[in-house]
Structure 1
Amino acid sequence: MKAFSFFPRTKMPWNCFCCVSQDQEEPAETSRVHKNRDYPWDIYSLKELLHATNSFHHDNKIGEGGFGSVYWGRTSKGVEIAVKRLKTMSAKAEMEFAVEVEILGRVRHRNLLGLRGFYAGGEERLIVYDYMPNHSLITHLHGQLAADCLLDWPRRMSIAIGSAEGLSYLHHEVNPHIIHRDIKASNVLLDTEFEAKVADFGFAKLIPDGVTHLTTRVKGTLGYLAPEYAMWGKVSESCDVYSFGILLLEIISGKKPIEKLPGGVKRDIVQWATPYVQKGLFNQIADSRLKGKFDREQVKSTVLIAMKCTDNSPDNRPTMIEVVDWLKGGIGRRKKEITNHVDETEDEEEVYDETDTDHENYGMELSDARENITRARSQRR
């Protein structure tokens, strides 16, 4: 894949994207203005997206975060979509919009959330995605659907492998390489078959060939940040590997990355899991909602992979290519390397920019919203 331009760096004006401003709006029946010759996305009109989301009605809202809200919608052609509507325009919001449209418009992988198109005009910045009917991973682990336990062990492994493959693609196949910087359960969406789609690229960084790391302002979510990134702002592919290790433990155990203990003390998921690993009690780490229905050898090997990913030293962490290989069954070839993980986990200073992102509650309220949406649609007809 060829290298691509980075919007904020090139300072291209928005009319370069052939956007349709509000006072240049075309009729709703010609909703998609056209497909850009240089990019695979569609450029939507504001009228089409207003119609699709019932004017961004509250009943259509399926997620909300620091930069804006996500709405469910249906286009005039009957296609279900998710529309991220950025909040009041600011330099941060403009940056996130530019980065996400640029990256999602260029990358193509079955485990990355697909970009359908966007609208940019006036004060509106709207990003249109494929709609994910099974919501986000966080909804199933900690949200409304957690009690239903729709994620059995095979599905959890499939989600872990899919997420890892999406990250491996970003780190090793795209040029320049991409660091996501916000890997977490709420940014893993699930399609009709529960296939994982890594989402939300607003904090992503491009790493040119030959560059090992960048120093930047810390972005991300408490509990998932690698120590060297949280404390010194040093970001590399290894930071995503650390975040993925936390996510992997979360998938296995169903526990949150950080929990509050009596007295206000916080304990992260690595600190919680370490004593079980030291004693060889890997089955105790598995989510109790699985009721013992899991492959015990897979649980053990997957926990060891997660512990290796969350090593305090970035030099000791594997690459995402290795992680994918191990998760898919290549673990036997490198078992000794994985089990050499240092078991002691030091307490880390909580230096972070605690930032919510727009898929944080993706699908949390969708079951209730569905009835309201259907009722509203019927009334409009």
Structure 2
Amino acid sequence: MVVLHNHCLDLLQRISIMMDVASALEYLHFGYTTPVVHCDLKPSNILLDESMVAHVSDFGMAKFLDEESSVLHTKTLATLGYLAPEYGLEGQVSKRVDVYSFGIVLMETFSRMKPSDEMFKDDLSLKSWIEESLPDATTQVIDANLLGRQDEHFNEKLECISVIFKLALSCCAECPRDRTNMKDVVAALEKIKRQLESFPNISA
């Protein structure tokens, strides 16, 4: 999670940043005749400018998909924890590997837990931890800086964050075909942001 000058970003700032990232991936996947797969999306490859606009960086591992195939094979592996299963096990590269990585980054952004945290071992991962918390124990996985029970519109904000986690999990489906594409991710995040903006004093 991005922290500036020891100041944690609030709820609206975080969703705005993730919308920027999602929009960048949507452009890479659908904005060219030849789709581009970033292949190594993670927080350290997301840069913020002075206006707090997020930019996806480091395209050293990016792959171009040709017109005849939506899947490539590679022996170059990306960062553990953000790696889609088919990419890590078989070297399969498609637009869906970026979707998976985005889902993990989305979970990390709103839980402030890295997939490499020491608590995640054996059968427990960031993904399964989030999954097991929904919908009844969402407060246990949210970054405590984001939401407190004293907050105005607590239940509504909690529901928005729960929807964000559900969206992240849909990005991280084990089967690539079951993952939400980035166009739908952008649309879902825009809807959540509009709802958050309707609440007064949204900043945490």
TM-score scaled to structure 1, two decimals?
0.46
In 2, the alpha carbon distance for the partners of 1:298 and 1:288 equals 15
In 2, the alpha carbon distance for the partners of 1:330 and 1:287 equals 18
Gap runs ≥5 in structure 2: 194-204
The alpha carbon displacement at 1:147 in A equals 4.1
* 1:301-328 C-alpha deviation (Å, 9 max, x unpaired): 1111000000111010011001111111
Kindly indicate whether residue 136 of structure 2 is the aligned counterpart of residue 280 of structure 1. yes
Kindly indicate whether residue 58 of structure 2 is the aligned counterpart of residue 200 of structure 1. yes
| Counterpart among 27, 36, 42 of residue 178 in structure 1 | 36
Q: Report the equivalent of 1:270.
A: 127
Q: How does 1:77-156 map to 2 (within 5 A)?
A: 138-140=1-3, 145=4, 147-149=6-8, 151-156=9-14
CA contact (8 A) 1:184 1:243 kept: yes
Q: Report the equivalent of 1:49.
A: none
In 1, the alpha carbon distance for the partners of 2:180 and 2:27 equals 15
Q: Based on CA coordinates, which of the two structures has the bigger radius of gyration?
A: 1
* 1:155-194 C-alpha deviation (Å, 9 max, x unpaired): 0000111100000000001221100001000101001121
In 2, the alpha carbon distance for the partners of 1:146 and 1:260 equals 25
The alpha carbon displacement at 1:269 in A equals 1.0
User: C-alpha root-mean-square deviation of aligned residues, in Å?
Assistant: 2.2
Kindly indicate whether residue 185 of structure 2 is the aligned counterpart of residue 328 of structure 1. no
CA contact (8 A) 2:11 2:146 kept: yes
In 2, the alpha carbon distance for the partners of 1:259 and 1:309 equals 21
In 2, the alpha carbon distance for the partners of 1:222 and 1:206 equals 22
In 2, the alpha carbon distance for the partners of 1:330 and 1:288 equals 20
The alpha carbon displacement at 1:290 in A equals 1.9
Q: Percent identity?
A: 36
* 1:4-29 C-alpha deviation (Å, 9 max, x unpaired): xxxxxxxxxxxxxxxxxxxxxxxxxx
Which has the larger strand fraction? 1
Q: Report the equivalent of 1:31.
A: none
In 1, the alpha carbon distance for the partners of 2:21 and 2:48 equals 10
* 1:218-269 C-alpha deviation (Å, 9 max, x unpaired): 321010000011000011000000000000001111111222139x758421
In 2, the alpha carbon distance for the partners of 1:290 and 1:330 equals 15
In 1, the alpha carbon distance for the partners of 2:122 and 2:84 equals 20
Counting matched residue pairs gives: 187
> 2:19 is aligned with what amino acid?
I
Q: Report the equivalent of 1:298.
A: 160
> 1:275 is aligned with what amino acid?
E
The ranges of structure 1 where at least 4 consecutive aligned residues each deviate by more than 3 angstroms after the TM superposition are: 264-267
CA contact (8 A) 2:87 2:97 kept: yes
Specify which structure has the bigger relative contact order, considering alpha-carbon pairs within 8 angstroms and separated by 6 or more residues: 2
